[in-house]
Amino acid sequence: MKAPKEDFEVNFKIAFGICQCNLDCFGGLLNFNSGGKKVIERLVEAYGFTTRQALCDHLGVSKSTMATRYMRDIFPADWVLQCVVETGTSIDWLVSGKGELKTTAVNSLVDVETRELKNGEAIALGTHKIDPVFLLNEIKSALAIKINQHVYICDREDTTISDGQWLVDIEGKLSIKKINLIPVKRAMVSGDGFSFECDISDIKPIAKVHTVISEA
Ordered mean pLDDT values, 10 residues apiece, the chain (216 residues)? 36 39 40 79 92 93 93 91 84 84 63 92 88 76 91 92 96 96 95 93 95 73
Q: How distant, in Å, are the alpha carbons of 60, 63, 159, 169, 176 from that of 172? A: 30, 39, 17, 6, 13
Q: Which amino acid is at 186?
A: R
Nearest 5°: the CA angle 166, 3, 211 is 25
Q: Residues 70, 150: one domain?
A: no
125 is in which domain, residue-wise? 109-214
Distance, CA of 8 to CA of 21 (rounded, Å): 20
Q: What is the pLDDT of residues 153-171, one digit of tens each?
A: 999 998 899 999 999 999 9
Name the domain boundary from 86, 105, 124: 105
Say if residues 214 and 162 touch (Cβ distance below 8 Å).
no
Name the domain boundary from 105, 130, 145: 105
Q: What is the pLDDT of residues 61-91, one digit of tens each?
A: 999 999 999 999 999 988 998 888 888 888 8
Q: Residues 131, 192: one domain?
A: yes
Q: Residues 18, 86: one domain?
A: yes
Give the chain's domain count: 2
Q: pTM of the predicted model, to two decimals?
A: 0.53
Asked whether residue 49 is domain-assigned, the answer is yes
Name the domain boundary from 105, 132, 162: 105
